[in-house]
A and B are shown apart, each in its own frame.
Chain A
Amino acid sequence: MMLGGSQRRILVGIGLAATPPTRTSRRPVAAAALVALALTGILGEHLARSSLPGANLDADFTWLGRRGLLVPMRGAFMFAIGLAVGALLGRTLPALLAAAAVGAALFSGVVVGTEAWRATDAVVLPFEAVGQSGIVIEVRVRAPDGRLLTFDEADAEGWMSEEVQADGSNMRPGYGEVALAVPGERYPTWVAREAAILAGLTVGGAGVAVAAVRRRRPV
């Protein structure tokens, strides 16, 4: 099992803030870690492009967050959380536990919040038109008069028949499954939005660390 980029960042951040100072400068360690994380994002993007040679990954939500810009941004965010918590607590193991909890909570909040925001960007598409590149938010049934029904509502209207229809499905004529989906073309916008949120939280975490270091007693 390998440590993910975010976990590595937490460890380095806490190591910088919560361990006793030594004569060795820690700046190269932090710089090397940031470079390594950026390289991870670039390599993830290359790996994705090699694995999916036919896909246009500039307009595709496949492996969102596991390739490209979001990898170093998520890592920098966790780094800042580790740094801030380490500076506040001043003890390595408690800082590691607290940073893991705070980082997980904040990151989950970012993911859930972003997903909820992204859902407002969804458009109604025929199910087969979503393809691999978009993100399906919800599947509904479109009634012959254009209403979008939940499956239970559609069941109540009897949208399925016992007999196989001409199109090979059991749906009665006029009914069809549609997806509320965010098309793949919106991928760059959503990457930029999540990156901006993470950048803001990273700056905030670094600010907390700076304030804690300036204010705290050196023991």
Chain B
Amino acid sequence: MRAWLRLTFQLQRFELLALAAGTVVIVALCLLAAAQLDALAVSHPACFAPDAPVDRFGAPSVPGCAEAFAERVGWDRLGETLLLVTWIAPVVVGLVLGVAIVARELEHRTAALAWSLGPSRWRWLVGRTLPIVLYAGLLLVVVALAGTVVTGARAPEADLGATFLWHGQWGPLVVARGALVLGLGVVAGALLGRTLPALLIGAALTAAFLTGTAVALDAWRGAEAIAVDFGRTGLGPEIEGGMLVGMRIRMPDGRLLPESAGDGLAEGAYTDVAMIVPGDRYALWVLRESTVVIGLGLGAFGLAGWLVVRRRPT
């Protein structure tokens, strides 16, 4: 194992160090933004209390809060940007590390020697991939935790164990998506055998798979959504932390129909309802999504192994 680690570091030194440096920067910025948001909440409790009066722009209308609010908006925007970075981090880490595992050795013609000397190409692939998986996992766990800290600071009232707020930008899903992208990167590298083309194809595969899984999971979630009355005052507190997956109308006999079915019906003949996946289902859905994307990642790795076993070493 130590030999595998040393070889991996020598082969991908630049990428490993660059991604570690990037992670350090992201984590530092996340901690800075979270600390500033927390400090503002402590130093100006009257401005950011949940029941503080707000004006038409959503700013606190308590005297003396304008500067603090402007400052909070600035840090919140940084937090928003950082959560986009934590969303994209598994894609960058997975592709940059995954693509090079096989493609670079084919490109540099070192695979031919290794494959001719080694007893098994599968064993070779596992030896090359395992240290990268552990390293990518470590980086993404750190990024996911940093994203969770920022989320907690941006939404201090949220229960992070039961909320779909900024779903997929923090927490375990950041790590799970990395497994899928890493697998796709290895597949692209094994298929094309050249780094830059494999990176582009890997990015296209990633976009397709992430979109496909998102659509499928949305449909699955939709089947579990509950109907919550959408009254004249909007959604009530019972949906806090939930995920809105669509709008329907409820007929007097209890049937739920698409919104368009209400066209032409008299007002009061139906009730507007929101289809919500409650926040207390969040942990279950994280587990399901993680299982799906990690399963796809393992499938991709299996495909990469099949390609490595079959392909010519040039």
Contact = CB atoms under 8 A, between A and B. Distances in A.
Interface in A143-161: 150-152, 155-156
A200 to B, nearest CB: 28
Contact of A93 (B22, B63, B64, B100): B100
A151 B67 CA distance: 7
A94 B196 contact: no
Interface in A69-88: none
Given A1-B207, A91-B14, A96 B66 contact: no
Contacts of B18: 94, 97-98, 101
B199 interface: yes
Interface string B93-111: 0001001100010000000
Contacts of B104: 93
Interface in B153-211: 195-196, 199-200, 207
A19 interface: yes
A198 interface: no
A92 interface: yes
A218 to B, nearest CB: 16
Given A1-B207, A93-B15, A98-B18, A15 B66 contact: no
Given A1-B207, A91-B14, A96 B67 contact: no
B195 A92 contact: yes
A94 B199 contact: no
Interface string A28-64: 0000000000000000000000000000000000000
Interface in B14-58: 14-15, 18, 22
Interface in A111-158: 150-152, 155-156
A16 to B, nearest CB: 11
A208 to B, nearest CB: 19
Contact of A15 (B22, B70, B196): B196
A11 B200 contact: yes
Contacts of A15: 196
Contacts of B96: 93, 97
Interface residues of A, number: 18
B67 A150 contact: yes
Nearest to A138: B70
A14 interface: yes
A155 B196 contact: no
Contacts of A19: 196
Contacts of A97: 14-15, 18, 96
A152 B64 CA distance: 5
Given A151-B66, A155-B63, A96 B14 contact: no
Contacts of B200: 11
A93 B195 contact: yes
B266 to A, nearest CB: 35
Given A93-B104, A97-B18, A155 B66 contact: yes
B66 A93 contact: no
B29 to A, nearest CB: 13
Contact of B99 (A11, A91, A93, A101): A93
A158 to B, nearest CB: 8
Contacts of B63: 155-156
A94 B199 CA distance: 12
Given A93-B199, A152-B64, 12 more contacts: A11-B196, A14-B196, A92-B195, A93-B99, A94-B14, A97-B14, A97-B96, A101-B22, A151-B66, A151-B70, A155-B63, A155-B66
7 contacts: A93-B99, A93-B196, A94-B14, A96-B199, A101-B18, A151-B70, A152-B67
Interface of B: 14-15, 18, 22, 63-64, 66-67, 70, 96, 99-100, 104, 195-196, 199-200, 207
